Chain A
């Protein structure tokens, strides 16, 4: 009777059971897919798909490039390249500006010492009693 009572009044841990099931299922599905994807056929199919994608990409790029050139309009590549160059110039300017500002603000007196840095004298702490923790 008491055993029955214990069984019936204690809450079964559904969340733990569900967690275990989910973990197990994930592992099994991953194993299944990984096995499938490790076959030669899959690699071959992947390569073929990639080829199709690249062919499509190349054809599109060329066709659009020719079209835009004929229309005397810059292509996306031209615009991106221009954007990249602008970004590079902006970064350079920002660096120069930062250096210039820092140099102006912190211009040391002729005899001033360089800014203090921490001493390079730190030693490792002694291991705790009973040796280092691993």
Chain B
């Protein structure tokens, strides 16, 4: 009889269910702490501001080791989002990891664009602000050269700088999910179709492109995301580490900043419409961005499930530069989780350390 066979185990099953519910409730409360965090601590790795230019700040992270690698590392962040994705929270911070590994780390925070920043062009970033910051880092560190690391559009800006400064005092280049082929940007490239997307009208009317518009565009890339993300969190509510990591990255994703108007106009016209970075026709202030002239060792890490900068958009970067020492790495994860997800510390960070450490002495 099936009932007879099942009945001895019935209390066990009930106990198991009860225990699971208890665990979910008990540990769920811990997870809920992260869900209800109103003002989580972000960007808290100790640092000093050593240079400002308008809303831009150049940070120097305080050393946490007795000795550091000789060559300083300058991180160029994206224009699209706030830079604290790289310094999310203690224990989940790429900056904290690098500092603890003994790197002398500097970071360019472009700041939240104000109305007066709407006139900033790509030239202002690649030909003026990055070279200024490079000078400041060399001056502050006392070294004649540095390593560059660019995340997302920050990598594109760093490549524009290198492509216009063959004499740049840069020893190595690290790109993280850096787009160079803007025809490979999936839906973004469709939506900015030259025939229907009036970028001039947007910039002329609004100045900077509001964060809300950008956030809506990012949300539209994964239309079900707003619905399924909370379900995923509830499903793994017992995993405190996952919940914390997810909520922090999610908060960062929603903390969208405006995009400087003129730079947006240029990006759409030159990069999306003409694909000028890939075609080698991009000119900044009359200077051609010659990526073939970039010969420094370079690594490019990309995310397997990056829906913001798909593989097709990032992959050609290594083929465009003239570096002989070039390495491509494709790791599991998405655009943000690659650098800040719960598994970044097991995937990207050790790989970066392995590659950079031997090139930083």
On A, residues with C-beta under 8 Å from B are 4-5, 8-9, 11, 15, 19, 22, 26, 29-30, 33-34, 37-38, 40, 42-44, 46-48, 50-51, 54, 57-58, 61, 77, 80-81, 84, 87-88, 91, 95, 117-125, 132-134
Contact sample, A vs B, 12 pairs, CB 8 Å cutoff? A26-B228, A30-B222, A37-B191, A43-B190, A43-B197, A44-B195, A44-B196, A54-B206, A95-B49, A118-B63, A133-B354, A134-B354
Question: Is B67 in contact with A48, judged by CB distance below 8 angstroms?
Answer: no
Alpha-carbon distance A91/B358, docked complex (angstroms): 40
Partner of A11, one of B5, B13, B104, B232: B13
Question: Is A46 in contact with B196, judged by CB distance below 8 angstroms?
Answer: yes
Question: Is A54 in contact with B357, judged by CB distance below 8 angstroms?
Answer: no
Report if B292 contacts A (CB, 8 A).
no
Alpha-carbon distance A22/B231, docked complex (angstroms): 9
Question: Is B196 in contact with A133, judged by CB distance below 8 angstroms?
Answer: no
Partner of B190, one of A15, A38, A58, A134: A38
Report if B69 contacts A (CB, 8 A).
yes
Question: Is A133 in contact with B65, judged by CB distance below 8 angstroms?
Answer: no
Given A15-B235, A50-B202, also A118-B2 (CB < 8 A): no
Please give the distance in Å from B235's CB to the nearest CB on chain A: 6
Alpha-carbon distance A123/B186, docked complex (angstroms): 42
Given A29-B224, A38-B187, also A122-B65 (CB < 8 A): yes
Alpha-carbon distance A9/B13, docked complex (angstroms): 9
Question: Is A120 in contact with B115, judged by CB distance below 8 angstroms?
Answer: no
Which A residue sits closest to B8, measured CB to CB?
A9
Question: Is A80 in contact with B205, judged by CB distance below 8 angstroms?
Answer: no
Question: Is A54 in contact with B205, judged by CB distance below 8 angstroms?
Answer: yes
Q: B354 to chain A: which residues have CB within 8 Å?
A: 132-134
How many chain B residues sit at the interface, stated as a range, is: 35 or more
Question: Is A47 in contact with B193, judged by CB distance below 8 angstroms?
Answer: yes
Please give the distance in Å from B11's CB to the nearest CB on chain A: 12
Alpha-carbon distance A8/B9, docked complex (angstroms): 10
Report if B36 contacts A (CB, 8 A).
no
Alpha-carbon distance A80/B65, docked complex (angstroms): 44
Question: Is A29 in contact with B223, judged by CB distance below 8 angstroms?
Answer: yes
Alpha-carbon distance A22/B205, docked complex (angstroms): 42
Question: Is A26 in contact with B69, judged by CB distance below 8 angstroms?
Answer: no
Given A118-B67, A121-B67, also A43-B357 (CB < 8 A): no
B33-68: CB near A (< 8 Å → 1, else 0) gives: 000000000000000010010000000000101111
Interface set, chain B 211-258, CB cutoff 8 A to A: 220-224, 228, 231-232, 235
Which B residue sits closest to A125, measured CB to CB?
B357
Question: Is B206 in contact with A57, judged by CB distance below 8 angstroms?
Answer: yes
Given A47-B198, A54-B202, A120-B69, also A133-B350 (CB < 8 A): yes
Q: What's the count of A-B pairs with C-beta under 8 Å?
A: 120
4 additional A-B pairs beyond A44-B196, A50-B202, A122-B65, beta carbons within 8 Å, are A8-B6, A29-B223, A47-B193, A58-B205
Alpha-carbon distance A21/B307, docked complex (angstroms): 21
Question: Is B191 in contact with A33, judged by CB distance below 8 angstroms?
Answer: no
Q: B223 to chain A: which residues have CB within 8 Å?
A: 29-30, 33-34, 37
Partner of A117, one of B63, B198, B360: B63
Please give the distance in Å from B256's CB to the nearest CB on chain A: 17
Q: A121 to chain B: which residues have CB within 8 Å?
A: 67, 70
Please give the distance in Å from A123's CB to the nearest CB on chain B: 6
Q: A132 to chain B: which residues have CB within 8 Å?
A: 354
Alpha-carbon distance A56/B141, docked complex (angstroms): 52
Please give the distance in Å from B280's CB to the nearest CB on chain A: 27
Please give the distance in Å from A130's CB to the nearest CB on chain B: 14
Partner of B2, one of A4, A46, A54, A87: A4
Given A38-B190, A117-B63, also A22-B198 (CB < 8 A): no
Report if B102 contacts A (CB, 8 A).
yes
Alpha-carbon distance A122/B358, docked complex (angstroms): 10
Question: Is B224 in contact with A30, judged by CB distance below 8 angstroms?
Answer: yes
Which A residue sits closest to B16, measured CB to CB?
A11
Please give the distance in Å from A84's CB to the nearest CB on chain B: 5
Which B residue sits closest to A33, measured CB to CB?
B223
Given A40-B193, A81-B115, also A122-B16 (CB < 8 A): no
Partner of B115, one of A40, A84, A119: A84
